[in-house]
Amino acid sequence: MVRTQHEFAGVDTVYLAVAGAVLAIVWLAFAFAAIRYRAGRHGAAKPTKDHNVLEIGIATVIAIVVAGLVTVTFTANASETENHDAIRFRVDVLAYKWGWQFTYPSVPGVVDRTTATAPPILHVPANQTVEITLRTQDVTHAFWVPAVKYKQDAWTGATRRFRLVFPPGEHLSGHCAQYCGLRHSDMVFTVSAMGPARFRAWSARARRQTP
């Protein structure tokens, strides 16, 4: 399983490097133009002329850089999406205005759902492959967990399936990342990613509490 946060951390590094290089080039070009083409003491600024070869060269470099960024981005996305590790746990996620519902096929009857007083908790095993099935009950929403640097849209009439590995943590934040109406900000949840012993204890306790 490709860990999303690690995969896209590499993409972040590439983008930051390119952004830094572009910033340095722009400032150097600005300084050069300000000095080279400044107005003289007794005259107007020196005239400029077209440099077709230079302009074509710059356009070519830009096209190569853009193509490289697109390749890096789509390669990382494909690595994150197309994984074939054994699925350790499954979660069905239903988004609706304005909350979440989490059900677990391997723990029948257990439902974590938004209430009037508290957001729901998504229970998952840490460092294990979790397959998530995502649907929306009404408008477009988006499942987003910043800790794993992953966002997936929930489109009306569509079912999305993807796999994630969650780092250990009891209070990993989750949000709807697609504006969906007046109470969009209420669509939050917490991820509880537990180690093996704690996850087995939670599963056993949840089964006992199920009617």
Domains of the chain by start residue, with CATH:
4-81 (1.10.287), 89-209 (2.60.40.420)
What tokens appear for 208 in the block?
Answer: 């006992």
Lowest-confidence pick of 45-49, 169-173, 195-199: 45-49
Name the pTM for this structure: 0.64
Mean pLDDT of 12-30: 85
Q: How far is CA 141 from the centre of its chain?
A: 14
pLDDT for the residue 211: 61
The three-state secondary structure class of 120 is: coil
What tokens appear for 80 in the block?
Answer: 């994150």
Higher pLDDT, 57 or 41: 57
Q: What is the mean pLDDT of the chain?
A: 83
The three-state secondary structure class of 73 is: helix
Q: Of the candidates 195, 91, 103, which has an alpha carbon nearest to the alpha carbon of residue 152? A: 91
Q: How confident is the model at residue 102 (pLDDT cuts 50, 70, 90)?
A: very high
pLDDT for the residue 147: 87
Q: What is the pLDDT of residues 119-151, one digit of tens each?
A: 999 999 999 999 999 999 999 999 999 988 888
The gap between the terminal CA atoms of the chain, to the nearest Å, is: 35
pLDDT for the residue 85: 57
- Angle, alpha carbons 46-48-49 (nearest 5°): 150
Higher pLDDT, 108 or 39: 108
Q: How confident is the model at residue 2 (pLDDT cuts 50, 70, 90)?
A: very low
Lowest-confidence pick of 51-65, 77-91, 155-169, 184-198: 77-91
pLDDT for the residue 57: 85
Helix (H) or strand (E) holding 136: strand 129-136
Lowest-confidence pick of 72-76, 140-144, 187-191: 72-76
pLDDT for the residue 50: 72
Looking at the chain, the whole-number percentage of residues with pLDDT higher than 90 is: 35
